[in-house]
Chains A and B, each alone.
Chain A
Amino acid sequence: DTAVSQTPKYLVTQMGNDKSIKCEQNLGHDTMYWYKQDSKKFLKIMFSYNNKELIINETVPNRFSPKSPDKAHLNLHINSLELGDSAVYFCASSRRGSGGQETQYFGPGTRLLVL
């Protein structure tokens, strides 16, 4: 019944490792997002996909690569993890577009800690 789900919920890993976070939404939405929330709670958009096409790609290191196999899934792969990547990563979805009039539904978040 969960509208937007993410796995894993917690991720603890060493610097230099590669990891992936998965996101799925069952709302039938066309648009999905990845946000990063740092320790100061600043919520910043990273990527947005509309119907599997990348529409927003903020200034994010190219170690971060999103992939959308279909419009219900948006995964985030991170290469060569660094200490500064530690944060909570939220996936979100909305019905369409970049959200001018659209509610965004957030997943529960993935708490990433890089040691």
Chain B
Amino acid sequence: QQPVQSPQAVILREGEDAVINCSSSKALYSVHWYRQKHGEAPVFLMILLKGGEQKGHEKISASFNEKKQQSSLYLTASQLSYSGTYFCGTLKTSYDKVIFGPGTSLSVIP
């Protein structure tokens, strides 16, 4: 079952912050986050495992609340290079396939 992402699209000015949410109706083992720039392949950002962990990657971080079956991606002090479509991918078990959400389009403008 495909996870739900919100918002569908967001426009930011450089330096602003954004939060992208990913939620599932099923219990989750892990959540993956990928970014895809226009015309390019999806690129890995981070994986979060159940246990409520939080991870960071420069100014991009994420959290995973397994009880709420949701993950959030935090982008702080956004840069033009953050523009793209952000996909979360969820797995119910460690050997499950990744089911990707519909994506959140993020545009950062000067």
Interface residues of A (CB under 8 A from B): 40-45, 48, 56, 58, 90, 97-109
Per-residue 0/1 for B34-78: is the Cβ within 8 Å of any A Cβ (1 yes, 0 no)? 101000111110010100000000000000000000000000000
User: Inside 8 A of A41's CB, which chain B residues have their CB?
Assistant: 36, 85, 102-103
Contact call B85/A99, Cβ cutoff below 8 A: no
Q: In the docked arrangement, what's the CA distance between A108 and B98, Å?
A: 19
Contact call A43/B100, Cβ cutoff below 8 A: yes
A98 and B47 contact, Cβ closer than 8 Å, known pairs A42-B102, A106-B41, A109-B41: no
Contact call A108/B44, Cβ cutoff below 8 A: no
Question: In the complex, which range does the number of interface residues on chain B fall in?
Answer: 20 to 34
Shortest Cβ distance from residue B29 to the other chain A in the assembled complex, whole angstroms = 6
Chain A interface mostly helix, strand, loop or mixed? loop
Q: In the docked arrangement, what's the CA distance between A109 and B41, Å?
A: 6
Shortest Cβ distance from residue B24 to the other chain A in the assembled complex, whole angstroms = 15
Contact call A99/B91, Cβ cutoff below 8 A: yes
Q: Which B81-101 residues have C-beta < 8 A from chain A?
A: 85, 87, 91, 93-100
A100 and B100 contact, Cβ closer than 8 Å, known pairs A107-B41, A108-B40: no
B29, B44, B96, B97: which contacts A103 (Cβ < 8 A)? B44
